[in-house]
Amino acid sequence: MTGSLAPNSFADAHRESSSYLADPRILALRQVHRAVAELRRGTPVLIRAAEGTMLVAAAETVGALGLAEIAQAATTPPVLLLAPVRAAAVLHRPVLQGPTGKPEEMGAVALRLPPALLDPAKLRSLADPVVADLLPEIPERAALPPLASAALALAKLGRLLPAMVAVAAPDTAAARLSLLTVSAEDIQAYPLSAAASLKRVAEAAVPLEDAPDARIIAFRAADGGIEHLAIIVGNVEAQLAAGIAPLVRAHSECFTGDLLGSLRCDCGPQLRGAIKRMAAEGAGILVYLAQEGRGIGLVNKLRAYTLQDQGLDTLDANRALGYGADERNFLVAATMLRELGVHRVRLLTNNPDKMAGLAACGIEIEGRESHQFEANGVNDHYLETKARRFGHLLE
Ligand SMILES: Nc1nc2c(ncn2[C@@H]2O[C@H](COP(=O)(O)OP(=O)(O)OP(=O)(O)O)[C@@H](O)[C@H]2O)c(=O)[nH]1
Ligand SMILES: [Zn+2]
Are residues 113 and 255 part of one domain? no
Are residues 287 and 271 part of one domain? yes
Residue 282 domain-assigned (yes or no): yes
Helices (H), the chain: 7-15, 17-22, 24-40, 64-73, 84-90, 120-127, 148-157, 171-176, 184-196, 236-241, 267-281, 292-295, 298-309, 314-320, 331-339, 352-360, 380-389
Q: Which of 153, 176, 192 is the last residue of a domain?
A: 192
pLDDT digits (tens, 9 = 90+) for 299-346: 999 999 999 999 999 999 999 999 999 999 999 999 999 999 999 999
Strands 180-183 and 45-49 turn out to be parallel
Are residues 84 and 218 part of one domain? no
Task: Say whether pTM exceeds 0.80.
Answer: yes
Are residues 372 and 229 part of one domain? yes
Domain count, the chain: 2
Ligand nearest to the CA of 309: 1
Q: Which of 170, 192, 214 is the last residue of a domain?
A: 192
Residue 360 domain-assigned (yes or no): yes
Report the pLDDT averaged over residues 358-382.
94
Are residues 152 and 272 part of one domain? no
State what percent of residues in the chain have pLDDT above 70.
91
Are residues 210 and 187 part of one domain? no
Residue 107 domain-assigned (yes or no): yes
Residues annotated within the binding site for Zn(2+) are 254, 265, 267
Q: Which of 192, 226, 242 is the last residue of a domain?
A: 192
Range of the domain at 338: 198-291+328-389
> Computed over its alpha carbons, how large is the radius of gyration of the chain?
22
Are residues 218 and 186 part of one domain? no
Question: Is-catalytic flag, 326?
Answer: yes
pLDDT digits (tens, 9 = 90+) for 38-69: 999 999 999 999 999 999 999 999 999 999 99
For the domain that residue 360 is a member of, what is the CATH number? Answer: 3.40.50.10990
Are residues 356 and 338 part of one domain? yes
Separation between Cα atoms, residue 347 and residue 330, nearest integer Å:
13
pLDDT digits (tens, 9 = 90+) for 336-354: 999 999 999 999 999 999 9
Q: Whose CA is nearest to atom 9 of ligand 1?
A: 293
Pocket test for ligand 1, best of 247, 252, 303 (most atoms within 8 A of CB): 252
Q: Whose CA is nearest to atom 5 of ligand 1?
A: 293
Please identify which of the residues 328, 346, 380, 388 carries the catalytic annotation. 328
Residue 256 domain-assigned (yes or no): yes
Residue 239, pLDDT above cutoff 60: yes
Are residues 224 and 159 part of one domain? no
Q: 356: which DSSP letter?
A: H
